[in-house]
Amino acid sequence: MLLNKKVVLGVSGGIAAYKAAALTSKLVQSGAEVKVIMTENAKKFVAPTTFQALSRQPVYSDTFIEQDPKQIQHIDVADWADLFLIAPATANIIGKLANGLSDDMLSTTLLATEAPVYIAPAMNVHMYSHPSVIKNLMQLDNWGFKFIEPGEGYLACGYVGRGRLEDPDTIVRILENEEDNQGLLTGKRVLITAGPTQEKIDPVRYFTNPSTGKMGFALARQASKMGAEVTLVSGPVNLETPPNVKRIDVVSAEEMFEAVTNEFLRHDIVIKSAAVADYRPRHSYDFKMKKKPGDYAVEMERTRDILMELGKVKQNQYLIGFAAETNDVEHYGEQKLVKKNLDAIVMNNVSEDGAGFAYDTNASIYLTKTGKRLELPLMSKDELAKKILIETAGEITGDV
């Protein structure tokens, strides 16, 4: 899938720069045309002539040395790229990109390119977990940059842990798979729900749940990257809207019901990952209730079951539900799949460490009405979203 692809490889100044030489060779062998940009610090680890020999292309490192006076170098390279890969990506270049800084050839070209950018971090394990680095990575993730996560192992600094640049063969395979998935959902309209709902008692009190919306937003982000037209109906969350996604904000279960049912019939794929309240106060008040002696009981009534109603009226839509359970996960999930007329269900045990609400990771069991069952171990929510959408595309096209 990389045959004839124009790849810009950005090499920043870390010891893992030596792996970028092998990566250049692997990319060329896969059929890609590769241009390398090096930072000044990268040149202290590997000579530019190495990359020139491997890529059979000029190597760029100085914004002010114009190899062709008819063109502005960093703009020309930025426009040339089909995809942009930073490997290794140091904390420095990640910080520059996240904060819009451009003081060398690599950073200026990154700001100018409209090609998909893949970031392969490599640094000390403590640097990788530093709050400032995490903040910068999260910012880039929210903007739609793609990541090739570092592996765990022995690092050059002597530590053992996460931070080692992924192996060149693996990076190339990931890029090939990503390119293969580009356009997988082109022409499809995808409706996704995310986050919690809030059921009001009075202006300052409400019932809710711990959902942060991360799973639904990951699904929206990945569906958009695969070419889908995405509508995201979200409860109250503190997340940025993914690029190229239409967002509808709601608060209560009833508002989410109305928004989803209004949008449902015009969509091809519907994924309900929101944690919608099953009950709401029968009576709510427009004024703040004052404390009174003794106990206070709130009478609750059922909210409308969004997924059940969608299952009743669906036509050609592929309908996916989520089941967040703490015990008998598959038993309850299978019941929900049948009872609500779903095409597939994603079952989570939210009592497990690293899975469920608020985490950046999740582990699931994916089950379809045709009996296909996949165990999806603990992984990032974006990676899980990607796997769910690939499976969904395969089910729709019959390519499973």
Please give the Cα distance from 167 to 74 (Å, whole number). 28
Please give the Cα distance from 334 to 321 (Å, whole number). 11
Strand partners, 361: 380
Tell me what pLDDT residue 399 has: 61
Would you say residue 179 has pLDDT above 80?
Answer: no
| Per-residue pLDDT tens digits for 236-278 | 999 999 888 999 999 999 999 999 999 999 999 999 999 999 9
Q: In the CATH scheme, what architecture does the domain 6-181 have?
A: 3-Layer(aba) Sandwich (3.40)
C-beta separation of 365 from 329 below 8 A: yes
Please give the Cα distance from 190 to 269 (Å, whole number). 5
Tell me what pLDDT residue 287 has: 93
Domains 6-181 and 189-280+298-397 share a fold: yes
| Per-residue pLDDT tens digits for 62-118 | 988 877 777 788 999 999 999 999 999 999 999 999 999 999 999 999 999 999 899
Token pair listed for 286: 């427009």
| Per-residue pLDDT tens digits for 205-234 | 999 999 999 999 999 999 998 999 999 999
Tell me what pLDDT residue 329 has: 85
| Per-residue pLDDT tens digits for 264-317 | 999 999 999 999 999 999 999 999 999 889 998 999 999 999 999 999 999 999
C-beta separation of 189 from 267 below 8 A: yes
Tell me what pLDDT residue 304 has: 96
pLDDT band of residue 400 (cuts 50, 70, 90) is low
Average pLDDT, the chain: 91
pLDDT band of residue 193 (cuts 50, 70, 90) is very high
- Which parts of the chain fold into alpha helices (H)? 17-29, 48-55, 73-80, 91-98, 105-112, 125-128, 131-142, 168-181, 214-225, 253-264, 306-313, 329-339, 381-397
Please give the Cα distance from 400 to 392 (Å, whole number). 9
Burial level of 202, CB count in 10 A (0-12/13-18/19+)? middle
Is residue 202 flagged as an active site residue? Answer: no
For the segment(s) 189-280+298-397, the CATH number from 1.10.287.3510, 3.40.50.150, 3.40.50.2300, 3.40.50.10300 is: 3.40.50.10300
Which member of 22, 157, 251, 265 is catalytic?
A: 157
C-beta separation of 61 from 48 below 8 A: yes
Full-model pTM: 0.76
Please state the domain extents for the chain: 6-181, 189-280+298-397
> Distance from CA of residue 314 to its chain's centroid?
28
Would you say residue 161 has pLDDT above 70?
Answer: no
